Amino acid sequence: MTDFLRPSRALLPLLFVLLACVPFAAAAAQQPFWTSFFARILVYAIAASALNLALGYGGLVSFGHALFLGVGAYAVALPAFHGIGSGWVHLLFCLAGGAAVALVIGAISLRTSGMAFIMITLAFAQMGYFLLVSLKVYGGDDGLPLAAPSRFGALDLGSAPVLYGAAWAVLLALTWWMSRLRAAPFGMALRAARQNARRVDAMGLQSRRLQLAAFTLSGTACALAGALLANLNAFVSPSSMSWSVSGELIVMVVLGGIGTVAGPVVGALVFLGLEEGLKGVTEHWMVLFGPLIVLMALFGRRGIVGWIEALELSRWPARAGTGRGRR
């Protein structure tokens, strides 16, 4: 079997081709809902991929990444509230705000490890949540409708097909960058720090700086997902910073395959697709959704991508082992 035809190698290209066809299929079927629904999947796939950089590559179990999602969303909503509709300004606020907040939180949180790190990141996210709840001028707990979508010249992210194309392109670029980063010196050093930080420090690479850089990049990319989410919903709310959203992102990464490039994309697709499917079956969908996620975690500890790679290794051991773990 050629490398391209191996399931683990063909998975990502196939997914992106199929996702690119969604708006055209939805338009042909006169079902615009599917464009919006899959746009939401793309946005959360971006956020999950961003988390995967810190969690999968760096071993940083952050339970507060929803904060960066909220920072990106409000970086669009607050300028729009004050009459600024330029997408370039929104993007500048989003990236600068996400990077600054992630840098500060990372610098403080990385002084700890393990459960303490988890709790500190969660605490920061809750602080952001309650701060925005207290700002009644911007809607407080009720949220804030988006006064104007982000406009990049002739491109208006208030249009679902345009936003879908933008989210697809961002996810493609982020996925490509993650695949390159995995084999780059920074990525290899970061993964080494996850395994044994003391040895990395002994080599003079300073594991904490590597982890801080990864955490900052992760938060910035997650803020970009938040900016897209604000345009998709035409509404922002402090609830986007809640601990449950951070938990969902972690589940997406683990479900798809932690530390793999394709894992967050697959995880977001399965998680949100399963949720939507069960909602169409029963109003008590959460009763079924929870046990299904638990069963997937028990029988696929390496995630869906890891299960595909294990199956491939068992069927084509001579060839599968050469590319194992790349996707």
Which residues are CB-neighbours of 269 under 8 A, at least 6 positions away?
15, 41, 45
Which residues are CB-neighbours of 326 under 8 A, at least 6 positions away?
8, 9, 179, 182, 261
- The pLDDT tens digits for 64-93 are 999 999 999 999 999 999 999 899 999 999
Coil/strand/helix, residue 110: coil
What is the distance, to the nearest Å, from the Cα of residue 244 to the centroid of all Cα atoms in its chain?
14
For residue 121, is pLDDT > 90?
A: yes
The sign of the torsion formed by the CA atoms of 139, 141, 147, 152 equals: positive
Nearest of 269, 170, 271 to residue 226 by alpha carbon: 170
Longest Cα separation, the chain: 63
How confident is the model at residue 326, as a pLDDT? 45
What residue ranges define each of the domains in the chain, with the CATH number in brackets?
34-241 (1.10.3470.10)
- The pLDDT tens digits for 228-278 are 999 999 999 999 898 889 999 999 999 888 888 999 999 999 999 988 888
Strand partners, 236: 144
